[in-house]
């Protein structure tokens, strides 16, 4: 078995390993969904590593790189091990192998998210000296069960560009997670839809979403314009355009209840909880 980076490994080989590693999980991934996920999360093949057995990927860590809170960061965008190779600590060996390369490239910290009920993984990360930095709530609901009643507000909803979204980042009450950040939006803008809500020519709210995956990446309203139905109108527009039969809203800060209250009022319930964890390098 050999650990090496993925600079010269084609996407088909990577996806084959990805699909086999998650074959016994409830959630299954389509090829283009994985390709776009990696693009949005800043996948860096030179700093991503896998264990190969006879040139087949049996375990991997796909790392994204970029800045997070102004710090050059590596992000675990996907870690997996094929079932018959589990229990051999291969993922830990891959991570240990990657550290000198990450440091040499100037990476100052390693970031990941883990389900709060995955105590085994959390224990492993704590032993590696990862620290919990934030708690996240994740929401999901089928479209037919969302409270989508008509909202009486005369605002204009129209498509906007990333520059408008950048200028409106202060509408958010908390800093987005890696996968929902503005940098992630910029990387994946070809597959995302950005809408702005306008009153008297002023953009007072916006949302960013993926019609193909049901992912609502960001939705925010300027504080002085809240409780007027603007977020509800934006959500209606999202639902009308989705090609999925569900919507998911991931990594909402547990410390700020505003978004959680809004989603629950629309009958979009809590689906899971995550920890954000960081290891200084």
pLDDT along the chain (281 residues), means of 10: 95 94 81 93 98 94 96 96 92 95 98 95 93 97 94 94 96 96 96 97 97 96 96 97 97 93 97 97 96
User: What was the pLDDT predicted at 197?
Assistant: 98
Is the distance from CB of 218 to CB of 206 less than 8 angstroms?
A: yes
- What's the confidence (pLDDT) of residue 122? 94
Give me the pLDDT at residue 186, please.
Answer: 96
Q: Cα 261 to chain center, whole Å?
A: 21
The encoded tokens of residue 51 equal 């264990």
Domains in the chain, CATH or no CATH each: 2-107 (3.40.630.30), 138-272 (3.40.630.30)
Place of tokens 């079932």: 83
- Using CA atoms, how far residue 35 sits from 39, 40, 100, 121, in Å, is 6, 9, 27, 25
Distance between CA 142 and CA 215 in Å, rounded? 12
Task: Please tell me the distance from the alpha carbon of residue 197 to that of residue 159, in angstroms, as a whole number.
Answer: 9
**Distance between CA 28 and CA 54 in Å, rounded?**
25
> What's the pLDDT at 281?
96
| Terminal CA-CA length for the chain | 27
Q: What element of type H or E holds 88?
A: none
Q: In what order do the strands lie in the sheet with 193-199?
A: 2-5, 49-53, 56-68, 71-81, 109-115, 270-280, 131-142, 246-253, 215-221, 202-210, 193-199, 156-159
C-alpha span between 99 and 130 (Å, rounded): 14
**Other CB atoms closer than 10 Å to residue 250's CB: what's the count?**
19
- pLDDT score of 52: 96
């Amino acid at each position: 078995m050999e650990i090496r980076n993925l600079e010269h490994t084609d996407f088909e080989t990577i996806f084959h390993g990805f699909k086999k590693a998650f074959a016994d999980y409830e959630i299954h991934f389509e090829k283009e969904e994985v390709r776009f996920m990696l693009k949005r999360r800043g996948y860096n093949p030179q700093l991503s590593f896998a264990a190969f057995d006879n040139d087949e990927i049996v375990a991997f860590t796909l790392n994204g790189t970029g800045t997070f809170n102004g710090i050059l960061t590596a992000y675990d965008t996907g870690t997996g091990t094929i079932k018959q190779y589990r229990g051999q600590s291969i993922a830990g060996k891959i991570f240990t192998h990657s550290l000198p390369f990450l440091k040499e490239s100037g990476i100052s910290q390693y970031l990941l998210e883990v389900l709060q009920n995955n105590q085994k993984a959390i224990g492993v990360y704590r032993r590696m000296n990862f620290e919990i930095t934030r708690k996240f709530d994740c929401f999901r609901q089928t479209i037919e069960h969302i409270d989508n009643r008509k909202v009486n507000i005369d605002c204009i909803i129209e498509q906007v560009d990333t520059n408008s979204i950048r200028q409106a980042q202060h509408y958010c009450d908390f800093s987005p997670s890696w996968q929902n950040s503005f940098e992630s939006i910029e990387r994946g803008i070809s597959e995302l839809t950005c809408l702005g809500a306008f009153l008297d020519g002023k953009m007072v709210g916006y949302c960013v979403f993926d019609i193909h995956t049901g992912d609502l990446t960001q939705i925010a309203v300027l504080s002085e314009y809240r409780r007027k139905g603007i977020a509800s109108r934006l959500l209606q527009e999202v639902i009308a355009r989705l090609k999925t039969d569900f919507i998911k809203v991931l990594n909402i800060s547990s410390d700020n209840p505003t978004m959680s209250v809004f989603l629950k009022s629309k009958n979009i319930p809590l689906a899971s909880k995550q920890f954000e964890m960081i290891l200084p390098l």
